[in-house]
A and B are shown apart, each in its own frame.
Chain A
């Protein structure tokens, strides 16, 4: 088990490094960041200073090292200074300070929220997104287990057919459309739930259903087919032959074995949730990380986008690491195979 853990940890570190390369490249895609960040009437001295500050006057590999470990690793000292930035159609002033490297959690300062470090802005918004994702996950995972098992146990019944049809619909409906329809029906027509905003549990219901419905549809189908595989196995027949109740057979014997692929998919769902949250949060005006990312992209606030992308990737990697460990616990063959 320890060997498995070390191997998986090593792989995760590699993935995170890869993400950092991509996040670093994001900044390079925009051409000369100094030109982008300074007003067009900036003095050559300011442009020079900004290039030096951003490190874009150095070869690419040194820039990456600086991005990771900060100015000090390259033996440079940066004095604090206030400079003007171009920000959309206006000019704002921003502080130039020493870059401490992403290793210290420093992605630079936000352009939109002048002088505020990017990562804390992202972290400040994360709890709301986490809350939304948790409710969406509880909804999609919990309901998919119940419905998937019912569908499998009553295979080919009307219930099964109905659930499978609903699952396909849930999976194929785009979430922005579903979100708008839910608002129309539950907020405008029925007046049962708020149309947007955050604050109470009522507010999270519609966004969570919007976010969780695609994974729910897929997971119902997955749980059903996994359960069907397992229910046909010899040891289930043995369990039934022992005279166990159907409930004990399904929940006690079949479920744990059927759960292995399902748990893996749950881990992947986290990525889907982050992606979906960007759209869902915009539709419902939910002030979480998704809407932060959209606004930051829109306003070309690169440090915040970089911090957010990195943070999302980090959470995704960690969750999948956890899922793999759970997987190994559920199925001893996984850890033995390595």
Chain B
């Protein structure tokens, strides 16, 4: 037996004596640690490679994938990985802007009339199983989500794609997409979710259960294997029309715990991790092995004000809240200067944005004055209903807004926050009747507009027919929204949205807030800049050459 073990075995010591000695050593150890190199970056800073070698890429999400069927989901975290496998006719540029539409499977397009756009298709493209991509595939794709292939498929996004009526092939590589009503945003609709192009043979031969787990697209990667809640494994499509991607194998993993995602990145077990907590950015950037990349996302945070219950059913109260919330100050402090303030509910890069409309300034005096004028009984009592941990700093922003509003003084306002588990929260918030009945005051909401058009803000959040309507009494706005939906003339349409934004600003049915920041952790061996539309596509990544 080793000497030290022998000594430990034979030395007799009372418990009290042991505690005394241990305390002494712990104190000495603590003193040494505070002066010693007790930091993460003490090891060699050489970037490490996941076990599969240079050509393998590991991406970690926080949420698991629900399906491999691109036409049967409405989640960004499914759309993003599926974009490696399936493609669309057109694609938005990495930096979103109204004229940012780029050719993808279509090489060009032109509008025929208010209901029709003609697309010229890329020639010589094949699906992963060898089926050719042509006008028939586009026709089939629309037929499929319209339920004309398998009546059991009822996609969750028909509200937004139902207007696409059919596609008519003109010749093998020319197709006309026809809507049931005049539609200014046909192009936008052909850029994701329901309109990711699927292959006619494969998707008519197999049933929905099979297609939930298998995939056949034209994209730069083909699906090798997907395990529910587990890994999704992709391999490079060497015959890809745009040239084979640099990383030959991509493993998409799920780790719900954010600290573990960051650790995996620092340990070299991952190349890209999504949803990095703001507080861990410095540790990653100090590590020498990875860095953070952030981009102001297309996702918007909003604070929905209860439209019918007092005191938020009073317009002056709602305006006062907008003057007092100090969103700019909170973005500086809580959000570390990231994110982007918006005047209403339209992101600056979306079509329809009014650049002349400035956000509510921070003006607590004006807020107090408005509260006095509102003739509601002061102080008003408000609750902020919110969730935690789903979006960057969601809880901290709720608490920050509460604190800012309370600064108006207890004689004016008393705000408390109430936190919910997000599944439960959305089971109430997403149900119009329950939301109006259960909640009051201020409610957290967020919205990712995947068509980059003002309609996808105004219809869901304002139109009285929508579940999420802010303003069930403003039927007069419905007509404006519907008119904009059917106006193909861009200038006229823009004017309509400007008018809507100004009226919405005045009505203040939300505390207008900001676009959120997407923060990614990226291994130093990978070259990649994140996209604004939350899509993480491996074909856009390169091995970093130093």
Q: Which residues of B contact A40 (CB under 8 A)?
A: 431-433, 467
* Residue of B whose beta carbon sits closest to that of A189: B43
Type the 1/0 row for B235-265, where 1 means its CB is closer than 8 Å to any CB of A: 0000000000000000001111101110110
- Is there contact, CB below 8 Å, between A291 and B229? yes
- Is there contact, CB below 8 Å, between B254 and A285? yes
Decide: A197 near B269, CB < 8 A? Known: A88-B430, A158-B13, A162-B8.
Answer: yes
- What's the minimum C-beta distance from B409 to chain A, rounded to whole angstroms? 38
Tell me the complex Cα distance, A93–B229, Å.
20
- What's the minimum C-beta distance from B46 to chain A, rounded to whole angstroms? 11
Report, as a range, how many residues of chain A touch the other chain.
Answer: 35 or more
| B509 interface contact, C-beta 8 A | no
| A138 interface contact, C-beta 8 A | no
Pick the residue among A114, A165, A188, A291 that contacts B212 (CB under 8 A). Answer: A114
- What's the minimum C-beta distance from B27 to chain A, rounded to whole angstroms? 15
| B154 interface contact, C-beta 8 A | yes
- Is there contact, CB below 8 Å, between A195 and B229? no
Type the 1/0 row for B11-22, where 1 means its CB is closer than 8 Å to any CB of A: 111110010001
Instruction: Give chain A interface residues in 183-221, CB to chain B under 8 Å.
Output: 183-184, 187-189, 191, 194-198
Tell me the complex Cα distance, A185–B157, Å.
45
- Is there contact, CB below 8 Å, between A188 and B13? no
Tell me the complex Cα distance, A84–B151, Å.
12
Type the 1/0 row for A276-300, where 1 means its CB is closer than 8 Å to any CB of B: 0000001111010001101101111
Q: Which residues of B contact A272 (CB under 8 A)?
A: none
- Is there contact, CB below 8 Å, between A284 and B260? yes
Tell me the complex Cα distance, A260–B366, Å.
75
| A46 interface contact, C-beta 8 A | no
- What's the minimum C-beta distance from B262 to chain A, rounded to whole angstroms? 9
| B426 interface contact, C-beta 8 A | yes
Decide: A188 near B267, CB < 8 A? Known: A90-B74, A161-B18.
Answer: yes
Most buried by A among B43, B48, B260, B427: B260
Decide: A156 near B12, CB < 8 A? Known: A82-B152, A88-B426, A88-B430.
Answer: yes
Tell me the complex Cα distance, A195–B75, Å.
27
- What's the minimum C-beta distance from B376 to chain A, rounded to whole angstroms? 31
- Is there contact, CB below 8 Å, between B40 and A158? no
| A238 interface contact, C-beta 8 A | no
| B33 interface contact, C-beta 8 A | no
Q: Which residues of B contact A294 (CB under 8 A)?
A: 256
- Is there contact, CB below 8 Å, between B264 and A187? yes
- What's the minimum C-beta distance from B231 to chain A, rounded to whole angstroms? 8
| A248 interface contact, C-beta 8 A | no
Tell me the complex Cα distance, A157–B15, Å.
9
| B228 interface contact, C-beta 8 A | yes
- Is there contact, CB below 8 Å, between A165 and B228? no
| A56 interface contact, C-beta 8 A | no
- Is there contact, CB below 8 Å, between B260 and A183? yes
* Residue of B whose beta carbon sits closest to that of A192: B267
Pick the residue among B22, B66, B154, B253 that contacts A196 (CB under 8 A). Answer: B253
Pick the residue among B151, B230, B267, B432 that contacts A191 (CB under 8 A). Answer: B267
| A264 interface contact, C-beta 8 A | no
- Is there contact, CB below 8 Å, between B260 and A180? yes
Most buried by A among B13, B230, B231, B254: B230
| A112 interface contact, C-beta 8 A | yes
- Is there contact, CB below 8 Å, between B260 and A283? yes
Decide: A159 near B256, CB < 8 A? Known: A113-B228, A300-B427.
Answer: no
| B295 interface contact, C-beta 8 A | no
- Is there contact, CB below 8 Å, between A295 and B74? no
- Is there contact, CB below 8 Å, between B423 and A188? no
Decide: A195 near B13, CB < 8 A? Known: A121-B228, A157-B8.
Answer: no
| A12 interface contact, C-beta 8 A | no
Tell me the complex Cα distance, A295–B256, Å.
9
Pick the residue among A113, A162, A285 that contacts B260 (CB under 8 A). Answer: A285
| A329 interface contact, C-beta 8 A | no
Decide: A157 near B208, CB < 8 A? Known: A82-B152, A195-B264.
Answer: no
Instruction: Give chain B interface residues in 311-364, CB to chain A under 8 Å.
Output: none
| B31 interface contact, C-beta 8 A | no
Q: Which residues of A contact B14 (CB under 8 A)?
A: 156
Q: Which residues of B contact A98 (CB under 8 A)?
A: none
Pick the residue among A92, A125, A184 that contacts B156 (CB under 8 A). Answer: A92
Tell me the complex Cα distance, A282–B209, Å.
27
Q: Which residues of A contact B7 (CB under 8 A)?
A: 158
Q: Which residues of B contact A300 (CB under 8 A)?
A: 423, 427
Tell me the complex Cα distance, A163–B155, Å.
60
Q: Which residues of B contact A87 (CB under 8 A)?
A: 156
Decide: A157 near B13, CB < 8 A? Known: A187-B269, A297-B423, A300-B423.
Answer: yes
Decide: A158 near B432, CB < 8 A? Known: A189-B40, A196-B264.
Answer: no
Pick the residue among A95, A116, A285 that contacts B253 (CB under 8 A). Answer: A285
- Is there contact, CB below 8 Å, between B230 and A158? no
Q: Which residues of A contact B427 (CB under 8 A)?
A: 36, 300
- What's the minimum C-beta distance from B241 to chain A, rounded to whole angstroms? 32
Q: Which residues of A contact B375 (CB under 8 A)?
A: none
- Is there contact, CB below 8 Å, between A115 and B18? no
| B5 interface contact, C-beta 8 A | yes
| B268 interface contact, C-beta 8 A | yes
- Is there contact, CB below 8 Å, between A195 and B256? no
- Is there contact, CB below 8 Å, between A183 and B263? yes
Instruction: Give chain B interface residues in 507-526, CB to chain A under 8 Å.
Output: none
Instruction: Give chain A interface residues in 29-43, CB to chain B under 8 Å.
Output: 36, 40
- Is there contact, CB below 8 Å, between A91 and B264? no
| A89 interface contact, C-beta 8 A | yes
| A154 interface contact, C-beta 8 A | yes
Q: Which residues of A contact B67 (CB under 8 A)?
A: 114
Tell me the complex Cα distance, A128–B311, Å.
53
Q: Which residues of B contact A187 (CB under 8 A)?
A: 263-264, 266-267, 269
Tell me the complex Cα distance, A179–B256, Å.
14
Type the 1/0 row for A99-135, where 1 means its CB is closer than 8 Å to any CB of B: 0000000000000111110000100110000000000
Tell me the complex Cα distance, A295–B255, Å.
11
Decide: A93 near B154, CB < 8 A? Known: A116-B209, A158-B8, A165-B18.
Answer: yes
Which 9 A-B pairs give the minimum distances between C-beta atoms? A285-B255, A90-B156, A287-B230, A161-B18, A187-B267, A93-B154, A159-B8, A195-B264, A90-B74
8 A–B contacts, CB within 8 A, in A order: A95-B152, A115-B208, A157-B8, A158-B11, A161-B15, A191-B267, A287-B254, A292-B229
Measured CB to CB, the residues of B under 8 A from A are 5, 7-15, 18, 22, 40, 42-43, 48, 60, 64, 66-67, 72-75, 151-154, 156-157, 208-209, 212, 227-231, 253-257, 259-261, 263-264, 266-270, 422-423, 426-427, 430-433, 467
Q: With A90-B74, A114-B208 given, name 15 new contacts (CB 8 A).
A: A40-B432, A88-B430, A90-B156, A116-B209, A158-B7, A164-B15, A188-B40, A189-B42, A195-B270, A196-B60, A196-B263, A198-B230, A283-B257, A285-B257, A287-B230
